[in-house]
A and B are shown apart, each in its own frame.
Chain A
Amino acid sequence: MDNIILSVRRLVTEFKTSEGKVIAVNDVSFDVEKGKVLGIVGESGCGKSVTSLSIMRLVPKPNGIISNGQIIFDNKDLLKLDDKDIRSIRGNEISMIFQEPMTALNPVFTVGFQISEALELHTGLKGENVRKKCIELLEIVKIPRAKKVIDEYPHQLSGGMRQRVMIAMAISCNPKLLIADEPTTALDVTIQAQILDLMKNLIDELDMSIIFITHDLGVISEMADMVVVMYAGKIVEEASVEKIFENPLHFYTKGLMNSRPSLLKKGDKLQCIQGMIPSPFNMPKGCAFEPRCNYSIDKCKVEMPDLLECEKGHKVRCWVAHQKVGDNHER
């Protein structure tokens, strides 16, 4: 287990709302290996972001509650740390990049100030040294005229530049784990490619692990080593990136694969998964994907399948997939 940097075990995160309790993350477990990239895929509202916020203990209070589970990082259960200890980890050993670079930076402070805050807090650097380090960081994330940009305000920068600043901020204290929550979703395609390139270089240079959250399978295939597919708060499939793309087992994953526009010829109709994600107040009794699944069997309606290993290192939560494996074994 030495090569595991983060281990999430049976995490349950709930939100209190006026209509009742919503379970956003339901019994989720996964590991992140040292120096590897774990991709989390799923559509909006499936619990990807809440999972990452739970790891940072940043689930909005007082309505969001992590009601069960363990998050083991560096032999410590992050859920058991007091506020002071978790703060010394945030931005230092685990840092995070968010989806919206346009709003994730504070508009009234300079870029330099916002980067140096984390540096001063966690590294004890002071004065001129902080400034030097800031410029260095801005250069690492390939911001041109770093010496000028450091004194500029976020509104003077483009979206791509702001995301670079966010990355500079996130890597400032050499974190062991970086959580990137849809870091390229809000950017246009050319900038996306640049940011992904930058992040790939950083992985090689800085020797950190990454949790990469996205709904873009193209990005996953480029970035991730391991992939976790989430649906309605639960993991439905988990495998290496090669296995997921070569042989997706869950019908939801298959549906996602088929709905990629890159598979189509010009003029073809886009494939999509029928229906909508179920309402969190009205979850189906059985498999959460059953109402949208064309291949469901009777069992799917009544009982939620477990996440089982079907091949070595390939787990799936699907009765049909389980049955096939069972058949194979019987033969």
Chain B
Amino acid sequence: MKQYIIRRLLLMIPVFIGISIITFALIHSTPGDPYIMMIDGNLNVEDREMMLREIGYYDSIPVKYIKWVSRAVRGDLGYSIRYREPVTDVMLRRIGNTLLLSFSALLISSIIAIPLGIISATKQYSIFDYIATVIALIGVSIPAFFFALGLIKTLAVDLKLFPISGIETIGVNLTGFKKVLDILHHMALPLIVLTFMQTASLMRYTRSAMLEVLQQDYIRTARAKGLPEKAVIYKHALRNAMISISTLITISLGYLLSGAVLTETVFVWPGMGTLLYQAVSNRDYPLITSGTLLIALCVLFANLLSDILYAVIDPRIRYD
């Protein structure tokens, strides 16, 4: 197992290099000159040209890439055009907020969705099942930004229960427990959106995974042993259903860590999603490149995690 993980980690290196080449090339092939904003407008044309040449604007993409890589391996991801500070600093400030939001959403939705999915499957075609599946269908069909705007209109603007956007009240300097409460208050709406959508898809998935497992011969064997229905469902069936459920959870982990761009943007949650959105609209090349690659890295690790979980849950899979 240890060997397998090491092998997989080594294998991630060429994959990651490939991803970085493609993203880098794509981003740098987009037309436009973002550096115009960095350079004093009063400068004469010759000086401007000289500065652009100096920062490498006229280099070919391969040369740009090699320059970027040689700096990146030394921990220098470049300088954000928009924020006028190192990309690493900008991202480090934001990533914590995204981790907070995404892990909370993943945790809460798993706690809600898996039991609901199990009950829905064991009581298939009951009233509970109908209500749960209809709500889940709404959850997977409704666009995130629309749902978010709906919540802002009703809960934030009309009822004034929650703040509209941001992560903390601006202009007030809170400390300690009060600060935590303030952040939670701001987090509520984006968390509701992400949790609802994640719960909906996870619940549907759990339901269908359980329905499939409950058809299996070994469930009949478990019942024939005289096991109580609880043991049949929560031990024999759920353990098998978890094999596929765990995949969905880890895959959505990759998605959530990328900052669930739309949701973060609508609520102006200062996380990776909002950052990336702004970077794209400002053509902040260094920031887009690093942000995209960070997402790619998250997805790669989420996939690795899902493969490891597979082996942990399913004894038929051995990676020796």
Which chain A residues have a beta carbon within 8 Å of chain B's beta carbons? 56, 58, 83, 87-92, 95-96, 98, 100, 103-110, 117-118, 121-122, 153, 155, 166, 169
Q: How far is the CA of A102 from the CA of B89 in the complex (A)?
A: 57
Q: How far is the CA of A89 from the CA of B223 in the complex (A)?
A: 11
Chain B residues whose C-beta falls within 8 Å of the C-beta of A96 in the assembled complex = 224
Q: What DSSP secondary structure best describes chain B's contact surface? A: helix
Partner of A108, one of B221, B225, B315: B315
The reply on B108 being an interface residue by CB < 8 A is no
Stretch among B27-35, B60-68, B212-220 lining the A interface: B212-220
The reply on B236 being an interface residue by CB < 8 A is yes
Q: Tell me the smallest distance from the CB of B60 to a CB of chain A, in Å.
A: 54
* B217, B236, B316 interface centre (most CB from chain A within 10 Å): B217
**Interface residue range, chain B:** 20 to 34
Partner of A58, one of B223, B231, B239, B315: B223
Check B221 against A105 for contact (C-beta < 8 Å). Answer: yes
Check B240 against A108 for contact (C-beta < 8 Å). Answer: yes
Check A104 against B217 for contact (C-beta < 8 Å). Answer: yes
Partner of A103, one of B217, B227, B229, B243: B217
Check A90 against B315 for contact (C-beta < 8 Å). Answer: no
Chain B residues whose C-beta falls within 8 Å of the C-beta of A109 in the assembled complex = 236, 239
Closest 3 A/B residue pairs (Cβ)? A91-B226, A90-B226, A91-B225
Instruction: Show 28 A/B contacts (Cβ-Cβ < 8 Å), sorted by A.
Output: A87-B227, A89-B226, A91-B224, A91-B226, A92-B226, A98-B217, A98-B220, A98-B221, A103-B216, A104-B220, A105-B218, A105-B221, A106-B218, A106-B222, A107-B240, A107-B314, A107-B315, A108-B243, A108-B315, A117-B225, A117-B227, A117-B231, A118-B227, A121-B227, A153-B315, A155-B316, A166-B221, A169-B225
The reply on B167 being an interface residue by CB < 8 A is no
Given that A107-B315, A109-B239 are known contacts, is A100 also in contact with B217, CB under 8 Å in the complex? yes
Q: How far is the CA of A105 from the CA of B240 in the complex (A)?
A: 12
Q: Tell me the smallest distance from the CB of B81 to a CB of chain A, in Å.
A: 52
The reply on B228 being an interface residue by CB < 8 A is yes
- A83 nearest CB neighbor, chain B only: B229
The reply on B308 being an interface residue by CB < 8 A is no
Check B224 against A58 for contact (C-beta < 8 Å). Answer: yes
Q: How far is the CA of A87 from the CA of B240 in the complex (A)?
A: 23
Check A121 against B225 for contact (C-beta < 8 Å). Answer: yes
- A101 nearest CB neighbor, chain B only: B217
- A172 nearest CB neighbor, chain B only: B225
Q: Tell me the smallest distance from the CB of B219 to a CB of chain A, in Å.
A: 8
- A-facing mask of B245-277, CB < 8 A → 1, else 0? 000000000000000000000000000000000
Given that A106-B236, A106-B240, A107-B218 are known contacts, is A56 also in contact with B315, CB under 8 Å in the complex? no
The reply on B95 being an interface residue by CB < 8 A is no
Chain A residues whose C-beta falls within 8 Å of the C-beta of B91 in the assembled complex = none
Partner of B224, one of A95, A100, A106: A95
Chain B residues whose C-beta falls within 8 Å of the C-beta of A153 in the assembled complex = 315-316
Check A121 against B226 for contact (C-beta < 8 Å). Answer: yes
The reply on B119 being an interface residue by CB < 8 A is no
Partner of A106, one of B221, B226, B313: B221
- B313 nearest CB neighbor, chain A only: A108
Chain A residues whose C-beta falls within 8 Å of the C-beta of B236 in the assembled complex = 106, 109
Q: How far is the CA of A122 from the CA of B231 in the complex (A)?
A: 14
Check B221 against A87 for contact (C-beta < 8 Å). Answer: no
Chain B residues whose C-beta falls within 8 Å of the C-beta of A58 in the assembled complex = 220, 223-224
Chain A residues whose C-beta falls within 8 Å of the C-beta of B240 in the assembled complex = 106-108
Q: How far is the CA of A90 from the CA of B223 in the complex (A)?
A: 8
Kindly identify, within residues 292 to 320 of chain B, every residue whose CB is under 8 Å from any CB belonging to chain A: 313-316
Chain B residues whose C-beta falls within 8 Å of the C-beta of A103 in the assembled complex = 216-218
Chain A residues whose C-beta falls within 8 Å of the C-beta of B225 in the assembled complex = 90-91, 95, 117-118, 121, 169
Q: How far is the CA of A14 from the CA of B223 in the complex (A)?
A: 20
Q: How far is the CA of A104 from the CA of B222 in the complex (A)?
A: 9
Q: How far is the CA of A91 from the CA of B316 in the complex (A)?
A: 27
Q: Tell me the smallest distance from the CB of A185 to a CB of chain B, in Å.
A: 13
Q: How far is the CA of A118 from the CA of B228 in the complex (A)?
A: 11
Check B226 against A122 for contact (C-beta < 8 Å). Answer: yes
Q: How far is the CA of A98 from the CA of B216 in the complex (A)?
A: 12
Check A118 against B316 for contact (C-beta < 8 Å). Answer: no
Given that A58-B220, A106-B218, A107-B316 are known contacts, is A88 also in contact with B226, CB under 8 Å in the complex? yes
